[in-house]
Amino acid sequence: MLSMTGFGSGEGRRGAITVTVELRAVNHRFLDVSLRLPGPLAAFEIDIRKFLKDHVSRGRVTVAVQLAVDNAGAASSLDAVRLEQAVNMLKAAAARLEQETGQPHPLTLHELVAVPDLFRPDDSGLQPEDLKAALMEALEAAHTALQQMKQAEGDALVAEMNQRLDTLQGQLAQVEQLAPGAAVEIKARLEQRLAEILDAQLEPQRLAQEVALLADKANINEECERLGIHIEAYRKTLQEGGQVAKRLNFLLQEMHREVNTMGSKTNLMEITQAVIAMKDEVESLREQIQNLE
């Protein structure tokens, strides 16, 4: 079972070409891919999206790609856009310095060439097939690393959910133990209340029937039984693994319904406290399955 959150990086090489891919995944209801590609690799955006669609079910995946080319001895060209940005940046810095010190600070060539990435290698000789091969190799390696982290996170989530199911099952056992006493107490209260209201105007046999009917409506045995069945179904689904978030969410809806019904049927303080605790566990489980792919 996989979590939707994780990180993975990979590298691919073809000759002088080195491509590095980083994948970051977070929770999202559907698959949402965000790409950052260097110019020479922009043509392969569709290939990346198709790969991720085939290998990731859902989540927001951010793809960061870097391209490095070993151009030892190859010609380089001046990046005009970067040059303009560097000149403007240095002019602004010189003006600020002159304002602070009162001394002019003319821009020098030494300062300009010290700006990073001012020159770029000539990539006109890069072959598309080499670029794509290095890119896909890096993407597959990054995806493998991402899946490993998502698996580890998913295993941790499953372990935590099983612990919460243990707690929920213990609370249910407590309610089942208290339920018979609650029925007796409810019956006694109803008999006393009806006797006071009716002032012996109702026959004892009829009074007993009415009390039994009202007490039966307050019985929570069926809710306890169904909740126990849902808990076991949840455990079994976790053991089966795979993409089970939708089924788990459905089971949680049913569990929440049974717990709510228990709370509405009885006013016994011990049961009410247990019901509140069970609601907390169900809500915690609901939050956890939002992280599952």
Spans of all domains in the chain: 6-73+125-150, 76-119, 153-289
The average pLDDT across 70-94 equals: 71
The average pLDDT across 147-175 equals: 93
Same-fold call for 6-73+125-150 versus 153-289:
no
CATH level 2 (architecture), domain 6-73+125-150: 2-Layer Sandwich (3.30)
Q: What is the pLDDT of residue 211?
A: 59
Report the chain's mean pLDDT, rounded to a whole number. Answer: 84
b/e burial code for range 216-254 (CB count within 10 A of at least 16 → b) = eebbbeebbeebbebbebbeebbeeeeebbeebeebbee
pLDDT tens digits, one per residue of 207-235: 566 656 666 666 788 899 999 999 999 99
Q: Tell the CATH topology of 153-289.
A: Butyryl-CoA Dehydrogenase, subunit A; domain 3 (1.20.140)
Q: What is the pLDDT of residue 183?
A: 65
Contact call for residues 266 and 243 (beta carbons, < 8 A): no
